[in-house]
Structure 1
């Protein structure tokens, strides 16, 4: 009997010890849950603050120098109508600057537009390294188109072709296979570019440049006085050649 009572007391002590251990474990778990909850709350707050900061940073304006602003404010305020057709030319940094300016002015003369619009439209023709050069100019630096075009010429002066001289006409030769019409047009384009008034030299250079054949022989037999006379005689010669081909019924040799 005494042994049974001791067993019961031992069992009661074990149950009591188990309850103590269980309460201790539950207390630790509760404390851990509270700590996890606090950590989760803090994490949510941190994430919310980070999101708000990122949103605010996205709303911050881009620094002024991050935008290309070489034009003065008056030029930047110029509005170009959406319907206005700008010049259809491009400058990448390797072309002749003088030829580009001439082409730009020619197209603007046809399209119209105010003087103030010239600035932005001229800049819009830039691409590649030319656009990089423009963006590198100081803020508000450009205030007139003369200044703009002068800066442009100086930047790309090495690309500028040397001015032609009258004797360059003697370097123009008709290619084998080039028609007489194409040769006269190519030769005449240089004459226009030279603004030459020396008709004797022009006629002599043309006779030297045209390929040997019936047309050149006709110029030697009866030397024309002007380039205009050469053109008229060339038209008659071409018509005669075409008529001769029709009569022969086949295409013969063409010397022009």
Structure 2
């Protein structure tokens, strides 16, 4: 017996045609048998429609199939490629449940034309980001490959969470539903603060206070841009315990990575969960700010006081400015350029004489004048 189509259930015309041809078996290769036996697969409203067809109106199987689709196909239950690409694994949905739902939607894409590799890519992108990060190091050529590796990663993550259940007060498990660092109640992260029992306060150079105006609301009292260095120092001295391996520095230069969550969805400096943990430790006096080291005399001895300005004077002025608020500088280099001026004159008694005037620049730029007088040959000095 054929599976009946009534046109009143959720089965689509495409689904019924495919199932009808499959049930025909070998005789389905002949169009005449497809047309003659098609009415046996109909019931109710669909059979009434077939009976109402005018005699001689159906000349081929393609014509009958087209009329059948035109009359009963609504498209309400057919899925498109966009529907398949938007499928995402739910927060509490297992990998098996997601794969079953993904394949169900894919089976309702009757006119879908996509390669198996691209289909595997859509399936991979639909997984939770925490699982994608675990299996991102492989190429996938089928949905089955994605399914197998995703289930293995899910099993390992569940074991890791179980091992930390007994210390849940100190451990924060994060399972990234979205790709930001605000997922406080997510699921994959494996870092634990380990504080000493004696409540000893520790200080590190990377832990520095932040300076803001008093009017501003200070959410964190430390410099959050140093979170990556703070994590390294706390981990180095045993105040943070991790169960994962931090990637090498070369890999971390290429993409953001959170050492606290073991995640590539955000950087350690942007991790709000780690920021709150550090702030909580500061508030509880487990951590304190690093004290700045200042020299006893941080300024040179010859630095002038700005509150009592002093006047700069030359060495030749030092004697006259004794006891005053002055600073004695260096001697200004003198420019000793001299000019000689020779003049010819006649004295009152009619005798001839030469007058030589020597001019030179001294301190302050003023000219000094010397005027020796020479008489002409044969004349006497005055």
TM-score (norm 2): 0.33
Higher share of residues assigned strand = 2
Larger Rg: 2
- Flag the structure with more relative contact order, 1 or 2, with Cα contacts below 8 A and sequence separation at least 6: 1
